[in-house]
């Protein structure tokens, strides 16, 4: 009887800790998904002035990437330059991501709107490069390993208008287990023709 009296509070504390931890981790993952959506939308809003004025919007590639990282830094409490976690951040280390800005053509390349441009960040180094493939609609597939042309991945996306697609992996601060979720988001420019 004495053993049951001693063990019961310990078991209850362990169960409460585990439930609280699970709730906190799922809440953090929801915040992460929402932050990624906001960052992709911010990137998509970086339409060049000339393309907007001509009624044929295209996204400025570098401005889109800057808006993407700025929104991530603000929402996930990251250093805006290195994306390393600041005090109070739910992340244990800098995120890993791929971001594609898809304009469908190079019509406004002179204004900074590359036809297709990709940014890859491995947690410390950023690489960026143009991709081939133009036209609408364009199929992309998203998996835990990145974004590529075509279908058959975990998720398929069709771009009928210019837009941005991102996939990101983070490592959450935890006490007991390693949680490293991967999430994706996409946004398109909507306009009347």
Mind listing the pLDDT tens digit for each residue in 109-156? Answer: 999 999 999 999 999 999 999 998 889 999 999 998 899 999 888 899
Q: How far apart are CA 124 and CA 122, in angstroms?
A: 6
Which is nearest to 116 in space by CA: 70, 68, 149, 91?
149
pLDDT per residue over 175-189, tens digit each?
666 778 889 999 999
Q: How far apart are CA 142 and CA 19, in angstroms?
A: 32
Q: How far apart are CA 27 and CA 20, in angstroms?
A: 11
Tokens 């169960």, residue located: 15
pTM above 0.95, yes or no: no
Task: Return the pLDDT at 87.
Answer: 93
Contact criterion met (CB below 8 Å) for 96 and 167: no
Task: Return the pLDDT at 107.
Answer: 94
Distances in Å between the Cα of 9 and the Cα atoms of 13, 16, 33 are 6, 10, 36
Q: Coil, strand or helix: which one is 99? A: strand
Q: Could you tell me the maximum CA-CA distance found in the chain, to the nearest angstrom?
A: 82
């Amino acid at each position: 009887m004495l053993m049951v009296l001693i063990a019961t509070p310990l078991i209850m504390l362990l169960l409460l800790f585990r439930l609280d931890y699970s709730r906190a981790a799922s809440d953090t993952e929801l915040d992460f998904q929402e932050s990624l959506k906001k960052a992709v939308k911010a990137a998509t809003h970086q339409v060049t002035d000339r393309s907007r004025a001509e009624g044929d919007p295209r996204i400025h590639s570098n401005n889109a990437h800057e808006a993407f990282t700025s929104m991530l830094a603000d929402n996930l409490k990251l250093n805006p330059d290195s994306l390393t976690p600041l005090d109070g951040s739910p992340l244990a280390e800098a995120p890993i991501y791929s971001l594609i800005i898809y304009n469908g053509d190079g019509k406004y390349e002179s204004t900074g709107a590359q036809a297709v441009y990709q940014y890859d960040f491995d947690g410390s180094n950023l690489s960026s490069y143009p991709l081939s493939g133009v036209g609408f609609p364009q199929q992309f597939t998203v998996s835990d390993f990145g974004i590529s042309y075509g279908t058959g991945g975990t998720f398929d996306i069709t771009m009928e208008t210019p837009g941005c697609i991102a996939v990101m992996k983070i490592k959450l601060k935890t006490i007991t287990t390693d949680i490293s979720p991967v999430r994706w988001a996409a946004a398109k420019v909507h306009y009347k023709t």
